[in-house]
Amino acid sequence: MYLAHQTWPELGDYVAEESVAVVPLGSTEQHGPHLPLATDYLIAEALAKEATDRTGFLCTPPVRIAVSEHHRQFHGTMWVEPEVFRDYVESFSRNLAYHGIDRIVYVNAHGGNAQHLREVGRRLRRDETAFAVEWMWDESIPDLVSEIFEHNGPHGGPKETAMVMHIAEELVRADRLEAARDGGIVDFADADARQFGSRTFYDSADNSENGVFGDQTDATPETGEELFEAASGQLVHLLEWIDAQPFADLMPEPHVDPQPGSQR
């Protein structure tokens, strides 16, 4: 069920029976010379819609601009400050809770969002407003990703390329896959990202001239379909698990006894 396509009485019927919402989040940022800036939110929205179509849960419109300042040197990248992003996500999550939603899954396809989404989830759980968790699609199927691609790469690599080939193949510049590989960093270990135990870079441009990593020529629509099916299946399992838990079991544990000052 896609929230923006429903009427308010239809959504009233939904929250009378269900309390789960899925929020897709991505970014609008460079993904090399071969992929659109929409890559992350296209993946997030496609996975969220697939899983909610299969389960009947509620899917919200996507968040398309997020924490992407580390890609700012490349044309077209848009971003908001981390604190703005956290406050925005927390605000609309509380809106959902006001309408009766108490379990939220942030379907995330951009690594820069992850820590901030977890912080929002922590805030919402702390005051027992809702149980909100971040889900990153590739982290749900790491063994499959490693099995398929020899040189995956953390950004703009073959896994994202394959996924977009499956979701929106017309947006992939297939004639630029070799240029993406040759102008970037094939093996992230070659990027000299750490010195003496310290992460010594901040921006994507510090390591990759064209902003991407991995061997994009390994991507195909067929591997994208395999990744999509596996990841959406994992998301379905997560949604069904969260829905089955008593709300009290998802909330913080009580303070251990005795509490400070309780015996005075």
CATH code, domain carrying 164? 3.40.50.10310
List, in sequence order, every beta strand (DSSP E) within 35-139.
58-59, 103-108, 131-136
Residue 86 lies inside a defined structural domain of this protein: yes
Residue 242 lies inside a defined structural domain of this protein: yes
Residue 139 lies inside a defined structural domain of this protein: yes
Radius of gyration of the chain (CA): 20
Coil, strand, or helix at residue 60?
A: coil
Residue 22 lies inside a defined structural domain of this protein: yes
Structure tokens given for 129: 């407003």
Residues 6+ positions from 134 with CB-CB distance below 8 Å: 106, 108, 113, 114, 117, 118, 121
- 8: pLDDT strictly greater than 80: yes
Structural domains of the chain, count:
1
Residues of the chain above pLDDT 90, percent:
85
Residue 125: give the domain boundaries.
3-189+208-249
| pLDDT tier for residue 24 given thresholds of 50, 70 and 90 | very high
- 256: pLDDT strictly greater than 90: no
Taking residues 21-25, what's their average pLDDT?
Answer: 98
Residue 256 lies inside a defined structural domain of this protein: no
Residue 35 lies inside a defined structural domain of this protein: yes
Distances (CA, A) of 187 to 31, 125, 207: 16, 39, 11
Residue 145 lies inside a defined structural domain of this protein: yes
Residue 37 lies inside a defined structural domain of this protein: yes
- 192: pLDDT strictly greater than 80: no
